[in-house]
Structure 1
Amino acid sequence: MIKSISSKSMNIKKTVALTVYLMLCNYLIAQVNIFSSNKEYQWKTETLEWSNTKKQIEADIIVNEENTYQTIDGWGGCFNERGWKALQYLTGEKQKEIMTKLFSDNGCAFSYCRMPIGASDYALDYYSLNDTHGDYKMNHFSIDRDRKYLFPYIKAAIQINPELKVWGSPWTPPAWMKENNSYNKGLIKMDPQILEAYALYFQKYVEAYRNEGVNIVAVHPQNEPLHLPAFPSCGWSGQNLKTFIKDYLGPRFKKHVPNCEIWLGTINGNKETDEFSEYIQPIFGDPEVAKYITGAGFQWDGDSAVERTNKEFPNKKIMQTETKCGWGTNDWKYAFETYNQMVWYLERNASYYLQWNMVLNETGMSSWGWKQNTMITVDTFNKTYQINPQYWAVRHFTQFVKPQAKRVSCKTKDGIQSLAFKNPNGNIVLILSNQSNKEQNVTIQVKKKCVNLKLLSGTIYSALIK
């Protein structure tokens, strides 16, 4: 009899515990976590409760997770020498704080970053990975210069995110491969011996970095082939790039580094050239060269070719390779410019979006006198650092929208800007902003759940829906 009463008591306790557990589960499922940032505060958090609705309501934002678009493959920035030099003014502890803010899951969670092959305009001075004239066999190829600035910068990021992927692009080939024998301006020599040597140069770059534990996953043959400024640069016509990829780089990579992608990038634009007709159409339109290329990378005025590329070559991926860098203001106006660039590219099926400089010193100055924006500024005099508004605008996307997430349908009323994504774990992420000068109240609906949210003026929001 005592045993029977004890058993009955235990069953009651189990039933109560199960009921409480189920109630707790329902409570958790019925919540949405909101993160918001503006001039006055950054990364404010709040929790709202969803309410169930049995019928369709006139919501301002309706997310349909069944209607999917592109896969998001990665977010990142670019490793440059001047960034690492700025970090050296800080203690090791502060350096780690910055890298954690950029690469950890509790920060921007960058997972796919760019680096220059040789000097960029944010190198400390100009160089290539083989400055030995006429070394067609690449016997003097070396990444020793990179060991001082780029390699430790990348390795510090890998310590935070061991899964980090990196891709590279040259601003210029070695000067001896160019018609003007200079790092700046000029054209590649379309000499078969030069082109074969240059393809080997790319191969050795991939192999050398991989041997050092850096996962180089892709190359873009030229940074901005339509731009010939005073800093390291090189001009390529679409036909010349096609020849190089089709006859030299593509076959060599297929044989020696078949698991490293080739992208057609980074495509920029100018007033005189239709970049779609110059690069995209002749290269992607030729199956014998297109078979080597994963997608197209665009930056700056190259964005004018994005929509036509999507339409005519939907099987090729889109990458935004360098967000517009501004003029060193590092203010909220620029943060919203970056935010809007990200929205524009993502709405046009970009699978990747990359920032430019992640870290610079207080001058923000390039090697040729252009003061540019950065996510984080190091004060080299006071040995401190500042998180800039751009950082918060970017983090609203990158912390929550994970690699392999799908962009999903997000029907939005006029005057409200929003994007929605579905992560591999099933969570929904809604990114939205209010860029008007007054508050807006919106109703958000996902399936048969809805929530009301007040959007403050000049504020960016992330809603994490579990």
Structure 2
Amino acid sequence: MKKIGVIITCLCFSSTVFSQLKSPKQEQKFTTTNKKITVYTTAEKSNLKLTATDNLVFSASKQPLETETSIFVEPSKKFQNFIGIGGAITDASAEVFAKLSKEKQTEFLNAYYDKQKGIGYSLLRTTIQSSDFSSESYSYIKEGDKDLKTFSIDHDRQFRIPLIKQAIQTAGGKLTTYVAPWSPNAFMKSNNDVLRGGTLLPEYYQTWANFYTKFIKAYEKEGIPIWGTSTQNEPMAVQTWESCIYTAEAERDFIKNYLGPTLKKENLGNKKIIIWDHNRDLMNQRANVIYSDPEAAKYIWGMGFHWYETWSGGLPMFHNVRKVHEAYPDKGLLFTEGCVERFDDTKYQFWPNAERYGTAMINDFNNGTNGWTDWNILLDQKGGPNHVGNFCFAPIHADTATGELIYTPSYYYIGHFSKFIRLNAVRISSAVSRSSLLSTSFLNADGTIATIVMNQTDNEISYNLIIASQKTQVKIPAHAIQTLVY
């Protein structure tokens, strides 16, 4: 979830990488001549799971009719670079993984990180200290150690670091890894508690900035390169678990005066800083406040966001992602967390959970997002472990009583993107003539195109895939997702 080094170099300081791309060299024009289309399908009420279901060819296309459903792809119209798809290796995921047999561990690693045997994850998120998806709250320092003299990541060496290393190895030796803190230590906070919100006390701004550098250097010493860090996971949510509140102004000033300069001073200035790392609802205000300050903005790669704004009873705010991208096209966008909440073991195969992933991924990519990261890669048969009872779904669960792995439909829906959109890809123009289908398309560096098509209706749909004067005709089952590779 691989030429990561090349991607990182390209993303560092280019002001055009995340706007419409135009290469200075002459690019070879995409042609449908002699192109074969392989169709991969996952569908409800069937055995189709990332299954190759058709091999098609292009033929001449006339003006499509209003009575037809068509997808129009224009490869010459290029947009944002793609930096990967992946999930989070939390303490919970690592603890459950350690309980699996060696055979099941290998199966699990291949399922996520092997390009051929699995779905080819290329992104990895992990936590700085504990989160709710840890068996307990813990810290890398002794409480009250403002000089960080007791700093140690020994806690992570038992479960988390070994799993991260195996994931990197299975992925071919490289994964774009980024990190996020859930809370500073209690003594650094206004509420003297790592849980239930509170704010970082001004006298500990420098101590906390130093903490990031300690963590990054410690992980890199372990052989885990760190691509970047967010400032704070969910900085506007007072949670029953590890949490800390930053207003937009507080996050801006912490980055401008402490985190950015400290990373630079410690020779970590190449690490990407991700702001917000919270829901789509307030992301525009956060972007406006922070990006309007050039002294803060110069340190920032872009914005991370989650999908939980639906807690209020409303619909996903996909359009806010587009509005941030339109306003600040030189900044990156990264989906940093999403999961299906409220675990229920009778709903392992509940299809709308998978369709939630497909809908979000297509919309987020079409609105300018560069990469997409799921939450826990693995949880147990209770939706944990979680030290505050906030149990959730993962794409794969392990029944620790039987030792079996349980693959949910969400795993396959994510795979329709992660397996076929490769690093160095660029999103291209893709539009649908009817709302019964959703679609997005990416042009890979090898010249192939991956077009993802999703059908949320109760009916099979026939549609045209049209590129210039060429087309092919495809059928997609009810409640299905397809990837067309050509």
Same fold (TM over 0.5): yes
Structure 1 equivalent of residue 224 of structure 2: 214
Structure 2 equivalent of residue 440 of structure 1: 461
Of residues 176, 190, 203, the one that matches 2:213 is: 203
The answer to whether the 8 A contact 1:185-1:235 is kept is no
- Tell me, what secondary structure is at the counterpart of 1:250? helix
Between 1:325-334 and 1:395-404, the stretch displaced more is 325-334
The answer to whether the 8 A contact 2:79-2:428 is kept is yes
- Tell me, what secondary structure is at the counterpart of 1:121? coil
Structure 1 equivalent of residue 19 of structure 2: none
Of residues 367, 389, 392, the one that matches 1:369 is: 389
Of residues 260, 264, 287, the one that matches 1:280 is: 287
Between 1:156-165 and 1:28-37, the stretch displaced more is 28-37
Of residues 397, 401, 404, the one that matches 2:421 is: 401
Q: More helix per residue: 1 or 2? A: 1
Structure 2 equivalent of residue 325 of structure 1: 340
The answer to whether the 8 A contact 2:461-2:475 is kept is yes
Of residues 408, 419, 422, the one that matches 2:440 is: 419
Deviation at 1:102, TM superposition (A): 0.4
Q: How do 1:279-358 and structure 2 match up within 5 A? A: 279-301=286-308, 304=317, 305-328=320-343, 329-330=347-348, 331-358=350-377
Q: Does 1:245 align with 2:251?
A: no
Quick one: distance in 2 between partners of 1:416 and 1:191? 50
Deviation at 1:163, TM superposition (A): 1.1
Structure 1 equivalent of residue 77 of structure 2: 67
Change (3 A) 1:250 1:455: same
- Tell me, what secondary structure is at the counterpart of 2:371? strand
Of residues 24, 34, 40, the one that matches 1:35 is: 40
Of residues 407, 410, 424, the one that matches 2:430 is: 410
Q: Deviations over 1:194-213 (max 9, x none)?
A: 11111110011111101110
Quick one: distance in 2 between partners of 1:457 and 1:269? 29
Deviation at 1:152, TM superposition (A): 1.0
Q: Does 1:391 align with 2:411?
A: yes
Quick one: distance in 2 between partners of 1:66 and 1:170? 40
The answer to whether the 8 A contact 2:77-2:429 is kept is yes
Quick one: distance in 2 between partners of 1:206 and 1:233? 20
Structure 2 equivalent of residue 52 of structure 1: 59
Change (3 A) 1:189 1:453: closer
Quick one: distance in 2 between partners of 1:220 and 1:49? 44
Q: Deviations over 1:208-227 (max 9, x none)?
A: 10111001110001000111
Quick one: distance in 1 between partners of 2:113 and 2:150? 34
Deviation at 1:332, TM superposition (A): 1.2
Deviation at 1:78, TM superposition (A): 0.5
- Tell me, what secondary structure is at the counterpart of 1:350? coil
Between 1:83-92 and 1:203-212, the stretch displaced more is 83-92
* Identical residues among aligned pairs (%): 27
The answer to whether the 8 A contact 1:48-1:451 is kept is no
Q: Deviations over 1:375-420 (max 9, x none)?
A: 1111111111111111000000000001221111113211222111
- Tell me, what secondary structure is at the counterpart of 1:338? helix
Of residues 228, 245, 248, the one that matches 1:235 is: 245
Quick one: distance in 2 between partners of 1:342 and 1:27? 26
Change (3 A) 1:128 1:269: farther
Structure 2 stretches of 5 or more lacking a match? 1-30, 310-315
Q: Does 1:258 align with 2:269?
A: yes
Structure 1 equivalent of residue 124 of structure 2: 113
Matched residue type, 1:370: N
Quick one: distance in 2 between partners of 1:283 and 1:131? 33
Quick one: distance in 1 between partners of 2:388 and 2:111? 29
Of residues 228, 235, 240, the one that matches 1:225 is: 235
Of residues 143, 149, 168, the one that matches 2:159 is: 149
Q: Does 1:170 align with 2:181?
A: yes
The answer to whether the 8 A contact 2:129-2:181 is kept is yes
Q: TM-score, normalised by structure 1?
A: 0.89
Quick one: distance in 1 between partners of 2:155 and 2:429? 47
Matched residue type, 2:40: F
Quick one: distance in 1 between partners of 2:369 and 2:280? 18
Structure 1 stretches of 5 or more lacking a match? 1-25
Between 1:379-388 and 1:440-449, the stretch displaced more is 440-449
Deviation at 1:462, TM superposition (A): 0.6
The answer to whether the 8 A contact 1:284-1:290 is kept is yes
Runs of 4+ in 1 over 3 A off after TM superposition: 26-30, 54-59, 301-305
The answer to whether the 8 A contact 1:326-1:334 is kept is no
Matched residue type, 2:249: Q
Matched residue type, 2:329: P
The answer to whether the 8 A contact 1:226-1:269 is kept is no
Deviation at 1:370, TM superposition (A): 2.6
The answer to whether the 8 A contact 2:197-2:239 is kept is no
- Tell me, what secondary structure is at the counterpart of 2:227? strand
How many aligned residue pairs are there?
A: 434
Structure 2 equivalent of residue 181 of structure 1: 192
- Tell me, what secondary structure is at the counterpart of 1:327? coil
The answer to whether the 8 A contact 1:168-1:220 is kept is yes
Structure 2 equivalent of residue 5 of structure 1: none
Matched residue type, 1:117: I
Deviation at 1:55, TM superposition (A): 5.8
Matched residue type, 2:325: N
